[in-house]
Homo-oligomer: A and B are copies of this chain.
């Protein structure tokens, strides 16, 4: 989930100057229109890791926007009036009316996450609280509020660096409190709880936007462009007479923005000899795990996604080579059958779910909904936007049933793909594997890259993480796949 926003995105001074100027002008125009037309209220939620730029963002919004139309609220200590009333009363009374902008700092999420991360609340109570929040937010959106939920994130390493730097300087040491160090100590608990909260409350209608908090300049431009984009789309929807529809909250399409996949070092060394040795060892280990008595009441679902020619088929063959043929099934996902088209899109995957002691391997998967169907426009944006939450719910059901779910993205670059395409064309045995469609898909590489980046961010959950595989070197990729499978299976038995 946080893969993309732990990359430490930065903007240089000059880029920042240009982009921030542009976005500030745009924001002021849109804010003016909001105030004039009073067509809807804007509510911005600011949550996330402390020291990741939450306060700075509040200040930024106050300085970039005309602050007369904006109300910021940090409600850490309820008044006696508030304590006597239902929890949400403190927020209701501060809701921005149409034509105004409200910024809620930490808001209803902070306490729910704190209670769970520190073990004060049980899982069921945590989930029930999040569902109430989800219903409240969906009501706000149905009532026409533009709701923007921003989650600021930095890695534990970056947080530690910041706390140490602030502590060292006597002018800033007051900003570091005992609670900051405690947070750092339990960083993983908080991150896991936050990921669960984000998963449960990121819907097609009110998705979270994750913000990399590492760099002030990047963060400012990112937040500014996100808000401007959401406003822009909301006004466009109103112009089309679809003002009631929830606005599409999208992250700004920064071409230069690195993501978890593009940040990988795709060329990883591995010799054929090392590969063969390790492969054999791993296949033996995998076979033993699948035969293990503890697996007799479990099942395994593995899925492979990746650009064309990323090596999915080859990797799958190395996995199945380790298994008794009666134990596994490989399910290649191509165009759906008539029967499948007559059902909700997840049906074709549900029908393949393995029984106890079995392995099912998907060559492409339900993620087609947010990859090819999104990029090719085969379903409406609202449909693929809701699919992230539906897929997370689906995988949660599998996992609660004791199924181990392992998801691989095999990453190659454009050059490697070209090399493999040419190789296939010139090999009579492989010529059938390359079609005009593969060339067409290749032209849409940037769109796919954006879709993959969003997919990782929204579906690499604390219960079903994606494994990104550097796959320019097939040997390396296959070994990483098998090792991950062994590790994940072993850890869950």
Contact = CB atoms under 8 A, between A and B. Distances in A.
B87 A397 contact: yes
Interface string A87-129: 1110011010111000000000000000000000010110110
Contacts of A131: 127-128, 131
A5 to B, nearest CB: 26
B344 A140 contact: yes
A132 interface: yes
Interface residues of A, number: 54
Given A128-B127, A353-B89, A393-B135, A343 B95 contact: yes
Contacts of A440: none
B355 A81 contact: yes
A143 interface: yes
Contact of A344 (B38, B89, B139, B401): B139
- Copy tally for this chain in the complex stands at 2
A350 interface: yes
A86 B347 CA distance: 13
Interface string A139-163: 1101111000000000000000000
A401 B350 contact: no
Nearest to A38: B342
Contact of A97 (B89, B122, B339): B339
Interface string A70-96: 000000000001001111110011010
B390 A139 contact: yes
A351 B41 CA distance: 18
A131 B396 CA distance: 14
A216 B203 CA distance: 43
B350 A89 contact: yes
A136 interface: yes
A241 to B, nearest CB: 13
A145 B401 contact: no
A400 interface: yes
Nearest to A399: B86
Contacts of A283: none
A434 interface: no
Contacts of A136: 393
A345 interface: yes
A401 B342 contact: no
A401 B87 contact: yes
9 contacts: A41-B342, A84-B355, A86-B398, A98-B342, A132-B393, A132-B397, A136-B393, A139-B390, A143-B345
Q: 3 closest pairs, A vs B, by CB? A: A97-B342, A124-B124, A143-B344
Interface of A: 38, 41, 81, 84-89, 92-93, 95, 97-99, 122, 124-125, 127-128, 131-132, 135-136, 139-140, 142-145, 299, 339, 342-347, 350-351, 353-356, 383, 386, 389-390, 393, 397-398, 400-401, 403
Given A135-B389, A139-B346, 14 more contacts: A41-B342, A84-B355, A85-B355, A86-B403, A89-B350, A89-B353, A98-B343, A124-B125, A127-B131, A132-B393, A135-B390, A135-B393, A139-B386, A139-B390
